[in-house]
Amino acid sequence: MHTGKSYKLSEFLNWTRRDIYVLIILGVVAVVAYQIGNIKWLGIPSTVVALLGTATAFIVGFKNFQTYNRTWEARQIWGDIISSSRAWGTMSRDFFDNAEKSTELVYRHLAWLTALRYQLRENRAWETISKGHNAEYLKYYSIHERQTALETELAKYLPDAEQKQILAAGSKATQIMSLQSKTIKGLFASQAIDVAQFLDMQKSIKDFLLQQGRCECIKDFPYPRQYATVNSFFIKLFCLLLPFGLLREFDKLNDSVDGVIKGNMVWLVIPFSVLISWMYTSLERVGESTENPFEGNANDVPISQMCRTAEIDLREMLGETDLPPPLAPRNNIVL
């Protein structure tokens, strides 16, 4: 997540420079063939390009709207997780007079948060974090889950026996919640909590599993590939045809000018076609970077920071003072 006022223009241009290079080449090829090669039939009607551009704009807008909704839904889910985690901390502390058991429940919950965020940072075939422009941008920020092993993180919260059991499981977050439920059942059987408290804590566990499922739904079900493919095809086709659609329009401007620029107005197709095409390709890049809100892109939901905030809050509830520092942004980006 970007925490600053805005991205710098230099950052954005650097991020999209590969597209700009291709667009410049397309513009130069079209103008050179038309002006120097005298291949006049390359100038296609601008109406064709305008209609294609309109259709492309609708598709790009639709994709960006839907991908923004995916990110916003992910942010809402994690907002609920953090709020529910605080409620879990107060219940674990106040429902019974057993500091050791309270610490066990809170720390196991922190292990669940850790396992869940590591699970959400796993790679998927459709994700874009490995693409050149995104991979290059990783130098400006850090992904905590790529720097520290899950085993190291879980060791902070779980005893060795539980840690080995969890690491051997397929869905580690689910198995941690299963252990929580088993512990709560044991507390109820020993009458350490009453039936109302037992039901409240079981309801919280159910809510955590539902929120985990919603995260997994976003993670494992991408923005529909058919829409993403059509969007990409239309933008590439539009950018390819745009300079050829502008050739005759700029050539007509020669009739209204004098001097050295007369007869050379068609060269202006290059900067203007690059500018217009860059707007479309940049919108596609923005939508693409918003499509998968957990993969580790600079615009993703900051689940690592949110987990650290929850850890600080829950450990303070236990009376601890040796707390980890909040995760600070690096170059205005925090995950």
Distance of alpha carbon 113 from alpha carbon 247, whole angstroms: 57
Question: Each residue of 177-231: pLDDT tens digit?
Answer: 999 999 999 988 988 888 999 999 999 999 999 999 999 999 999 888 888 888 8
Task: Specify the range with the lowest mean pLDDT, choosing from 130-134, 147-151, 268-272, 319-323.
Answer: 130-134
Q: State the chain's mean pLDDT as an integer.
A: 88
What is the rounded CA–CA span in Å between residue 53 and residue 236?
Answer: 11
C-alpha distance from residue 253 to each of 20, 248, 263 (Å): 26, 9, 9
- Whole-angstrom distance, CA of residue 77 vs CA of residue 81: 6
In a domain, 105, yes or no: yes
pLDDT at 140: 82
Q: Is residue 326 part of a domain?
A: no
Segments forming the whole domain that contains residue 151: 9-317
CA angle 296, 299, 303 (to 5 degrees): 55
Q: Which residues contact 202 (CB under 8 A, 6 or more apart)?
A: 181, 184
Which segment of 35-39, 46-50, 134-138, 316-320 scores lowest on mean pLDDT?
134-138
- Whether 277 maps to a domain, the answer reads yes
Q: What pLDDT, on the 0 to 100 scale, is given for residue 259? A: 66
Report whether pLDDT(170) > 70: yes
Q: Given this model, what pLDDT does residue 111 score?
A: 94
Contact at 8 Å (CB) between 270 and 24? yes
Instruction: Say how many domains are in the chain.
Output: 1
pLDDT at 91: 92
Q: Assess if residue 138 is contained within a domain.
A: yes
- Considering the domain boundaries, does residue 272 fall inside one? yes
Residues 74, 215: contact at Cβ < 8 Å? yes
pLDDT in tens, 258-316: 766 676 788 888 999 999 999 999 888 888 888 889 988 888 899 999 999 999 999 99
Mean pLDDT across 101-107: 92
The confidence score (pLDDT) of residue 260 equals 66
Please report which residue ranges of the chain form alpha helices under DSSP H: 9-15, 17-31, 46-94, 99-120, 132-137, 144-147, 150-154, 160-167, 172-189, 195-220, 225-252, 269-291, 303-317
Where is average pLDDT lowest: 4-13, 85-94, 288-297?
Answer: 4-13
pTM above 0.95, yes or no: no
Task: Flag whether 333 is in a domain.
Answer: no
Confidence at residue 248, expressed as pLDDT on a 0 to 100 scale: 86
Q: Within a domain: residue 214?
A: yes
pLDDT above 80 (res 256): no
* 138-142, 250-254, 270-274 — most confident range: 270-274
How sure is the predictor about 257, in pLDDT bands with cuts at 50, 70 and 90? low
Domain presence at residue 15: yes
Q: Which residue has the higher pLDDT, 134 or 70?
A: 70
Residues of the chain above pLDDT 70, percent: 98
Rounded CA gap, 247 and 223, in Å?
A: 36
Q: For the residues 81-106, what does the mean pLDDT come to?
A: 91
